[in-house]
């Protein structure tokens, strides 16, 4: 239980109407979950404006309300705090309420279009093997010292995020590795957190349904580094054309990694197979169970972060060589007919090209590469024809299907993908709306030695259609049809 006055520190208060010395039992920005003694934070969301629910919150027992505009009718028993930005205020209030947990552990944030989940998970696994009690906050799962929790967002909301970090502190977690999405930065979900370091993987076309322009998307990523403290480290992929721009205004210590350009942390791919890649990292040779050039970047970022956190390079390389691939990220198996099946989360043009390029660099070209891919509904539409074109150019056979159509019609999404398929690619492309049927068809088409890539959903265990999430697992379906 916290005194209201104390948890308003750095929240950007303009004025307070009422008693600031009341005690706060809990926080919520959703009036449905308000209880007696709670603080209600009225935020303007995409779907609704919390200011419309202030009266409902006070009737349910909210003892205080944070808002940008006062309601016309005020409750005499409620304290009202007027702030410039409720999202910003929520970040600091949540952090203060949970006693600023991020200050009590080494928190590293990973941002970028692709590679966040793999890098965060590799770091969690690496530091766990090094003997530390670790936490992970990722798209796939939340882990607190080996105990898993499910997650619905890449980066949780500010209250949930600080609650998770508070749980970690109570369990003596020393390191936490978390994905930081561009949405989270813009919505101030990470405001109020103290990061030990930040990692930038890359930035390509994605989320333009939300950010509207690439410049806005880049600015969101850059803002994360702009806000890092001077004591932190900022590690960036120098091979990305925005790798230096992203760190332009950071106060943190700058470090770079890369495969092509000169960098403090340098890597060269010696050879690659479906069983893994052989790398030279800063003069040391290491074999990893990961696959593809994109994973060489992820592994190098992981290595660099460990060194910046003070770990021994030889021990880091030894453990890296034993780490397994991440669920839904180039996850593959080979059946008795020598058919290789691969599941990957690639849902952006760049990620899809990376995976397909990795496959093509490893194959003999005497076999067929059959790709099954769709695009998510209610998301960036511009990437649909681009992804279809990439898949068509890089594959021998292409099946366009549904991904998570959400509230769009799957057939409409597929037709928009088809607009990227020119005459030369149409003869190798078929459309099958039902994703299960599409995967089954790919399995029927595959002959001995062929390769099947099912892209887009990766680790997800559901398909989202018209607001209903139905159990669906690409890997399990592949195994059902191929083994």
User: Is the residue at 367 inside a domain?
Assistant: yes
Average pLDDT for 366-378: 97
| Residue 315 pLDDT exceeds 60 | yes
Query: Does 468 score more than 80 pLDDT?
Result: yes
* pLDDT over 90 (residue 46): no
Residue 212 has pLDDT above 70, yes or no: no
Average pLDDT over residues 306-333: 96
Q: Give the end of a domain, one of 320, 341, 365.
A: 320
Q: Give a yes or no: residue 281 inside a domain.
A: yes
446-461 CB burial, b ≥16 within 10 A, e <16: beeebbbbbbbbbbbe
Q: What is the pTM of this model?
A: 0.91
- Is pLDDT at 64 greater than 80 in this prediction? yes
**pLDDT over 90 (residue 206):** no
Q: Are 107 and 202 found together in one domain?
A: yes
Strand partners, 199: 110, 235
Q: Number of structural domains, the chain?
A: 3
243 closest CA partner among 206, 213, 204, 202? 202
Q: What is the CATH number of the domain that holds 301?
A: 3.40.1190.10
Confidence of residue 211 (pLDDT cuts 50, 70, 90): very low
Q: Which of 97, 114, 148 is the last residue of a domain?
A: 97
75 and 143, same domain (yes or no): no
Report the CATH number that the domain containing residue 85 is assigned in CATH.
3.40.1390.10
Do 423 and 336 lie in a common domain? yes
Are 347 and 199 members of one domain? Answer: no
Q: Which two tokens stand for residue 244?
A: 């230096």
| pLDDT attached to residue 205 | 59
Using one digit for the tens of pLDDT, what is the confidence trace for 408-437? Answer: 999 999 999 999 999 999 999 999 999 999
- Give the range of the structural domain holding residue 83, as residue numbers without chain letter: 2-97
Q: What is the pLDDT of residue 207?
A: 46
What's residue 2's pLDDT? Answer: 93
Mean per-residue pLDDT for 140-168? 90
Q: What is the mean pLDDT of residues 242-266?
A: 97
Q: Of the residues 262, 287, 320, which one is the last residue of a structural domain?
A: 320
Same domain? 81 vs 204: no
Summarised one tens digit per residue, pLDDT across range 272-313 is 999 999 999 999 999 999 999 999 999 999 999 999 999 999
Residues 218, 242 contacting (CB under 8 angstroms): yes
Query: Within this chain, do residues 169 and 32 fall inside the same structural domain, yes or no?
Result: no
Region 54-64 average pLDDT: 96
| Same domain flag for 37 and 153 | no
- Is 50 exceeded by the pLDDT of residue 471? yes
Say yes or no to pLDDT of 440 above 90.
yes
326 lies in some domain: no
pLDDT at 328 over 80: yes
**Geometric angle at alpha carbon 144, from 143 and 148, rounded to 5°:** 40
Give yes or no: residues 207 and 239 share one domain.
yes
Q: Are residues 243 and 314 located together in one domain of the fold?
A: yes
């Amino acid at each position: 239980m916290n005194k209201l006055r104390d948890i308003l520190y750095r929240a950007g208060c303009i004025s307070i109407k009422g008693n600031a010395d009341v005690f706060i039992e809990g926080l919520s920005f959703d009036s449905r979950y308000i209880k007696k003694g709670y603080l209600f934070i009225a935020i303007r969301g995409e779907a609704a404006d919390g200011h419309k629910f202030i009266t409902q919150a006070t009737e349910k027992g909210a003892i205080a309300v944070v808002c940008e505009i006062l309601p016309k009718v005020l409750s005499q028993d409620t304290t009202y705090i007027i702030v410039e930005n409720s999202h910003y205020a929520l970040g600091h209030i949540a952090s203060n309420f949970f006693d600023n947990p991020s200050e009590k552990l080494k928190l590293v944030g990973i941002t970028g279009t692709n590679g966040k989940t793999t890098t965060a998970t590799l770091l969690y696994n690496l530091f766990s093997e090094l003997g530390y009690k670790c936490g992970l906050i990722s798209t796939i799962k939340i882990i607190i010292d080996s105990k898993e929790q499910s997650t619905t967002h890449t980066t949780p909301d500010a209250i949930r995020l600080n609650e998770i970090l508070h749980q970690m502190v109570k369990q003596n977690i020393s390191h936490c590795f978390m994905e930081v999405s561009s949405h989270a930065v813009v919505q101030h979900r990470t405001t109020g957190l103290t990061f030990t370091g930040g990692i930038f993987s890359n930035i390509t076309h994605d989320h333009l349904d939300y950010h509207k322009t690439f410049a806005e998307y880049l600015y969101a990523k850059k803002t994360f580094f702009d806000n890092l403290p001077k004591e932190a480290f900022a590690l960036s992929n120098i091979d990305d054309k925005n790798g230096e721009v992203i760190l332009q205004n950071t106060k943190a210590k700058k470090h770079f990694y890369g495969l092509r350009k000169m960098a403090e942390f340098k890597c060269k791919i010696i050879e690659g197979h479906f069983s893994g890649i052989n790398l030279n990292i800063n003069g040391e040779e290491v074999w990893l169970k990961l696959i593809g050039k994109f994973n060489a970047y992820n592994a190098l970022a992981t290595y660099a972060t460990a060194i910046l956190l003070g770990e021994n390079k030889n021990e880091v390389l030894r453990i890296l060589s034993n780490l397994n691939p991440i669920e839904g990220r180039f996850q593959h198996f080979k059946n008795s007919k020598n058919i290789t099946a691969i599941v990957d989360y690639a849902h952006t043009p760049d990620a899809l090209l990376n995976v397909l390029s990795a496959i093509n660099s490893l194959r003999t070209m005497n076999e067929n590469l059959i790709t099954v891919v769709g695009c998510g509904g209610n998301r960036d539409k511009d990437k649909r024809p681009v992804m279809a074109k990439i898949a068509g150019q890089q594959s021998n056979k292409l099946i366009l299907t549904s991904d998570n159509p959400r509230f769009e019609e799957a057939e409409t999404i597929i037709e928009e993908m088809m607009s990227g398929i020119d005459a030369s690619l149409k003869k190798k492309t078929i459309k099958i709306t039902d994703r299960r049927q599409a995967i089954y068809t790919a399995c029927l088409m595959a002959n001995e030695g062929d390769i099947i890539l099912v892209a887009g959903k990766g680790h997800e265990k559901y398909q989202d259609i018209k607001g209903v999430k139905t159990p669906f697992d690409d890997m399990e379906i592949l195994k059902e049809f191929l083994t």
